[in-house]
A and B are shown apart, each in its own frame.
Chain A
């Protein structure tokens, strides 16, 4: 490994209506935040399957974020509650696999909260920097499928 400072690779699953729009707002307002997060848009945080989270960690993510609408404000009524439940259960399981629970984060960011998104990204990046790289597979990624 080189001596460069560790730059975490973070994956964020953002719901289209609130969080993705909030992130977009952060962008239009030119709010600067850590570039470590790579965003995957889903229509609702309830669409996030636990296997996506596992795949992300398996592929080399140092941290995974799920972000959705505030409870009560879900565009599809209750999808974010499903995300909440899955996050709680999955966190427990991930811990047993050796993945610290700080690496898997659930946030509520509304369409108007560009500032909050900026803050979450910066915070998450800092936190993972301190924790260090995950190194699930001893530093090697999964072999690419043919």
Chain B
């Protein structure tokens, strides 16, 4: 504590000077003296329930045994952590704990360290793990602030429970109690969680404060407000306590910042196709059917498996099937081709060959190797021994028809090159999912006054001559939000968009619309009908002259005012009434 008073004491004949208020256990730690504990945790108030941290204490002439976790240091104290008395007391306590909770591993560990073979006390329940350390209770009270569990009953009946032994409404399901429990006496089940190939692969609901993915840029954690205990109970904030840089602020709020810009580049990306929409492929039902993105996470060197390719049960697959065109080129889902999947599927085939001895089956419809070196890579795969089967897979099933198919995933497909329906047993299935436009494409399009094409990707001004601009001046497009594309193409498009945006600003001048509207002063009666109609507030009423006037710089040339003008005073350059009427006449000249 921030106390200036220092206390001098010795532990195991080693002297130490330390702040007042420190416990013996903490002082021992400073001297690298290890005292075993079971119910102690640095983030919680000490409780001294397990009695394992007992040490012999001598102050003056008085000698006694105290628990070091909750006893504060005193001037002139002499502590022996492994004296005969201390050790005897500790051993007895451990034997008691062994009888109380024979299945608790940390207790067995300490027993082994103290060379205790068995307990002399009667064992009531050989499967019991709870050592009544109270860590869960203290966690729920001090850290979570929910107070949903506590000790109930006394003596031999003492146990941890929510009120009246029934599930408590105060429990917020944070699983902090399970986290702090040293013996796994408390466990939890995620009833809605989908089993993915590895529990840790989906970094999702593991902790409320976490890094989004293992290779996130920037590599900075965020707080998931839905899962964070502080946002539920107002307590916890342990992350803030342990952060040395004081970088965590739970009170930070979303800030709306207004920036005035001259041009905008939309690069809002894509959404991966959800293969749950194709029930026949078994995604979500079979734990070894995974998407390409999940496979990328698995095979990455920073994955939970260190990049090794394992099935959900930890074994290596003997055969892997890669299915192309999942959600793409399909009139039931998306008609377009997602462009990147053939190449990344080939990449996977190559990686799997490198890392395992598995047979690799690649089920393709066409092999789209359109880029530099792509076709050559495909040929390399052909030589490596990947088995390519041309056909759109119809089903992934686990119902075996033969003995060889037992316990495996069977891919059923028509091999169109030989005209036969085949069933290929594999262990792992990788779905090459396509790219879809993001959920908010229409919303973004509306905000920026641009259009979307039929497939809901953003519409470019011209597919050949203006692929990065839109129909609204100053709004540019880059990347997959405009259409599915791979990284080289995205980078090229981004460069183009950036230079167009820069060119716009760099010019120093900008071009006005030539097709603006104008009001003939002579004809204008000053009725002001046009003033309210203009969506760009380009028309103002001149009180002195009694006429309406159009601001040429604001006018966008829609012509709404022109068609509303009762006197024909307002006319749009190049789209005058008499011009359009002449066009109509021209149509009917026979």
Chain A contacts to B: CB under 8 angstroms: 9, 11, 17-18, 21, 38, 40, 42-44, 46-52, 55-56, 59-61, 72-73, 75-79, 82, 86, 110-113, 115, 141
A46, B560: Cβ atoms closer than 8 Å:
yes
A126 to chain B, nearest CB (A): 21
Report the count of interface residues on B (CB-CB < 8 A): 33
B451, A73: Cβ atoms closer than 8 Å:
yes
A54 to chain B, nearest CB (A): 10
CA distance A59 to B562 in the complex (A): 22
B323 to chain A, nearest CB (A): 30
B583, A110: Cβ atoms closer than 8 Å:
no
B575, A113: Cβ atoms closer than 8 Å:
no
Instruction: Give the most central of B445, B459, B564, B584: most A CB within 10 Å.
Output: B584
Instruction: Pick the residue among A11, A18, A48, A77 that contacts B563 (CB under 8 A).
Output: A48
CA distance A47 to B559 in the complex (A): 5
Asked if A44 meets B471 with Cβ closer than 8 Å, knowing A49-B577, A82-B533, the reply is no
CA distance A56 to B583 in the complex (A): 10
- Further 5 A-B residue pairs, CB within 8 A, beyond A9-B587, A48-B563, A75-B558: A51-B577, A82-B563, A86-B563, A112-B452, A112-B454
Question: Chain B: which residue is nearest A13 at the CB level?
Answer: B580
Residues of A within 8 A of B459 (CB): 111-112
B558 to chain A, nearest CB (A): 4
Asked if A76 meets B446 with Cβ closer than 8 Å, knowing A46-B563, A56-B584, the reply is no
Residues of B within 8 A of A86 (CB): 563
Residues of B within 8 A of A75 (CB): 449, 471-472, 558
Residues of A within 8 A of B572 (CB): 43, 47
Residues of A within 8 A of B3 (CB): none
Residues of B within 8 A of A79 (CB): 535, 558-560
CA distance A50 to B581 in the complex (A): 11
Interface residues of B in 412-468 (CB under 8 A from A): 445-446, 449, 451-454, 459
Residues of B within 8 A of A43 (CB): 515, 557-559, 572, 575
B82 to chain A, nearest CB (A): 79
CA distance A82 to B556 in the complex (A): 16
29 contacts between A and B (CB under 8 A): A9-B587, A38-B587, A40-B580, A40-B584, A40-B587, A43-B559, A44-B559, A44-B560, A46-B559, A47-B563, A49-B562, A49-B563, A51-B581, A52-B580, A52-B581, A56-B584, A59-B587, A60-B588, A72-B446, A73-B451, A75-B471, A75-B558, A76-B556, A77-B535, A77-B536, A79-B559, A110-B451, A115-B454, A141-B588
B446, A55: Cβ atoms closer than 8 Å:
no
Give the total number of A-B pairs whose CB atoms are below 8 A apart.
100
B506 at the interface (CB under 8 A from A): no
B471, A111: Cβ atoms closer than 8 Å:
yes
Question: Chain A: which residue is nearest B445 at the CB level?
Answer: A73
B251 at the interface (CB under 8 A from A): no
Residues of B within 8 A of A49 (CB): 562-563, 577, 580
A112, B451: Cβ atoms closer than 8 Å:
yes
B471, A42: Cβ atoms closer than 8 Å:
no
CA distance A56 to B581 in the complex (A): 8
B246 at the interface (CB under 8 A from A): no
Residues of B within 8 A of A50 (CB): 563
CA distance A51 to B330 in the complex (A): 47
B517 to chain A, nearest CB (A): 10
B182 to chain A, nearest CB (A): 60
Instruction: Pick the residue among A9, A46, A51 that contacts B558 (CB under 8 A).
Output: A46
B255 to chain A, nearest CB (A): 29
Residues of B within 8 A of A51 (CB): 577, 581
CA distance A73 to B449 in the complex (A): 7
Residues of B within 8 A of A21 (CB): 471
Residues of A within 8 A of B454 (CB): 112-113, 115
B582 to chain A, nearest CB (A): 10
Interface residues of B in 532-590 (CB under 8 A from A): 533, 535-536, 556-560, 562-564, 572, 575, 577, 580-581, 583-585, 587-588, 590
Residues of B within 8 A of A82 (CB): 533, 560, 563-564
CA distance A38 to B78 in the complex (A): 106
Q: Which 10 A-B pairs have the closest CB atoms?
A: A47-B559, A76-B558, A77-B535, A46-B560, A49-B563, A44-B558, A112-B453, A59-B588, A112-B454, A38-B587
A11, B587: Cβ atoms closer than 8 Å:
yes
Residues of B within 8 A of A110 (CB): 451
Instruction: Pick the residue among B471, B472, B557, B584 that contacts A52 (CB under 8 A).
Output: B584
Residues of B within 8 A of A115 (CB): 454
Residues of A within 8 A of B535 (CB): 76-79
A70 to chain B, nearest CB (A): 9
Question: Chain A: which residue is nearest B535 at the CB level?
Answer: A77
CA distance A79 to B559 in the complex (A): 8
Instruction: Pick the residue among B564, B577, B588 that contacts A61 (CB under 8 A).
Output: B588
Question: Chain B: which residue is nearest A76 at the CB level?
Answer: B558
Residues of A within 8 A of B472 (CB): 75
B574 to chain A, nearest CB (A): 9
